[in-house]
Amino acid sequence: MVRRGPSTQGHCRVARVSLPTVGRWKTRYAERGLAGLEGDRPGGPREQVPARVRARVIALTRMTPPDGTGLSHWSTRELAKYLTRAENITVSWHYIARI
């Protein structure tokens, strides 16, 4: 059988994605047709952090840590630990670093 049209690598170049991504697209298309290419992103839903929490993180980064912490400045990890321990706010240090 002779294939017509762009190669898988050609699709990668055009879409600017990796070879495994195109492979997943082809598999989903073969299994479900166009419906397999639409809809939800793979993986779990992305959780949004409330604006109140974001504002609190920003406010704390502008303050010196409380005396009882023994810190001279905040690190992302220490700020995440402090928020969990003192204010019952759970965010990752990755999130704090992105702000």
Closest alpha carbon to 55 in 99, 94, 19, 5: 99
Tens digit of pLDDT at every position of the chain (99 positions): 556 767 888 888 888 888 888 888 888 889 988 888 887 666 666 678 889 999 999 999 999 999 888 899 999 999 999 999 999 999 999 999 988
For residues 57 and 79, the answer to whether their CB atoms sit within 8 Å is yes
Q: What is the pLDDT of residue 43?
A: 67
Can you give the C-alpha Rg of the chain in angstroms? Answer: 23
Query: What b/e sequence results for 62-85 when a residue is b if at least 16 CB atoms lie within 10 Å of its CB, and e otherwise?
Result: eeebeeeeeeeebebebbbebbee
pLDDT at 26: 86
